[in-house]
Amino acid sequence: MISLPHTTANLPNRCLLHLTNRPYSTRRRRRFWTRSSSSQHDRGNEKTTLASASTTKRVVLVRHGQSTWNEEGRIQGSSDFSVLTKKGENQADISRQMLIDDSFDVCFASPLKRSKKTAEIIWGNRETEMIFDYDLREIDLYSFQGLLKKEGKAKFGEAFRQWQEDPANFNIDGHYPVRELWSRARSCWTGILAHESKSVLVVAHNAVNQALMATAIGLGAEYFRSLLQSNCGVSVLDFTTRADGGSPHVCLNRLNQTPKSPLAGGSSGGREASKQIILVCHGQGDYEASTNDQPMTMLGEIQSQKTAELLLDLRVTSIVCSSTTASIETAGVISRVQEAAGCLGVDPVPRYVNTKQMNELNVEDILRKSNKDEAVTASIQPGWLSQLDEETVSALWNRSGKAWESLVDKLSDEDKSNPGDAMVVVGHPMAHISLIAQCLNLDKEWLGLFHLDPGSISVIDFPDGPSGRGVIRCTNYTAHLGRWSAPITRPG
């Protein structure tokens, strides 16, 4: 988890620093409650800050299951005509099982049918309250709503092109829908963070969930479609109170944990990914070992094996790893399982994997110089970035920038005839956090925004090819680890 800097040059506005405070505690007597959208003037009359979140709060965001208009390829926006398909109901039930052990204090949900039904399936027999908040509705798309995508393109030409290519500046019927959505998402955080709860479930929609995540961590509307949300994908944000009483540390603990494997593919913002980078955090290392270059523990070996099994769903052509022992061991397990695909009955065509070590992925030596590596490496906790001195952070950032450029160049040079092949990158969680930040074109002050566990998988799509903007499909996916996985949420 992270420390969100109070002031940082050239960063998007810290949209959670000033929020409206609408107390919800007086409404807890009712199990179901619906809040209507209020005027901007009303919201401006009451100001508070994130410091009002008095305890550590975990917020779990879920997108609704597949709807009838999703299935038809129709533009939904904030219309309320589509309902969950049978597949969508099944997805919601899988999400219910993923979250069944969590003792949520409250559920906030969009009242639109597809989201409301998803929320009710996930919420199950819980007796605590559900709050249906109209501000959690999907993005308002005005004249686009109800059209098939091909109809939108034919009828609105240039506006549809802008919606696809430059959504932050997309204008229709005199409105800027994405900008409006970002403003509405900021207001939603007011009620969520003011509620006297430690564990919150929010069930809503694709675009509004993107806006909620982005505004929580301080990303502007230009990041629309950069953080993928699949049907019933689960994302987790942690808000941890600072000792000095300032704005809490905010951490995107995990992104888009889907009912199916994150490697199953699908579109990225409506476009197929031509290339992918799979970031694999090496298996758990022996942090108590006397050697600086730590081998994997038995737990790490299990994690690596399970990761290799999951990656059989992909045809991996190349593995790039750091030159540390744990990364080399993890890469070796993945390579051996890939090349045994024929013996395992997975793929009759022989698989050959090219494995290469990349020194730019090494971060352990940088951390050792800070004399803080033992605490930081073993477990990335809230405010971990502040434990490192400026020289260490700069060294980590500069090295990750070189690694990112090398990886993208390598991806571009790979055989164009195999666009579906994936590159696997194995390294330390902190190296991958840096790569994710590089992909999003952030800078070093943002390194604390993300959390990754040993053995986890994160996926970056390139729908416009390696030279285009990367889309983060998921981060910190651990469901494949089974009983060894980090729980999505805190058990009750």
Annotated binding site for substrate: 63-70, 114, 149
Number of helices and strands in the chain (H, E): 13, 15
Residue set of the binding site? 63-70, 114, 149
* Residue appearing with tokens 């290519």: 165
138 belongs to the catalytic site? yes
Residue 128 near residue 152, CB atoms below 8 Å = no
CA pair distance 355, 318, nearest whole angstrom: 6
Strand stretches in 264-315, DSSP E: 267-268, 271-272, 275-281
> Exactly one of 129, 138, 360, 445 is catalytic; which is it?
138
Distance of CA 174 to the CA centre of its chain: 32
- Cβ-based burial of 338 (10 A; exposed 0-12, middle 13-18, buried ≥19): buried
- Cβ-based burial of 385 (10 A; exposed 0-12, middle 13-18, buried ≥19): buried
Q: b/e string for 185-222 if b means 16 or more Cβ within 10 A?
A: bbbbbbbbbbbebebbbbbbbbbbbbbbbbbbbbbbbb
Both tokens assigned to 47 = 């100001």
> Exactly one of 41, 46, 64, 180 is catalytic; which is it?
64
CA pair distance 491, 203, nearest whole angstrom: 19
Length of the chain in terms of residues written: 492
The residues carrying an active-site annotation are 64, 138
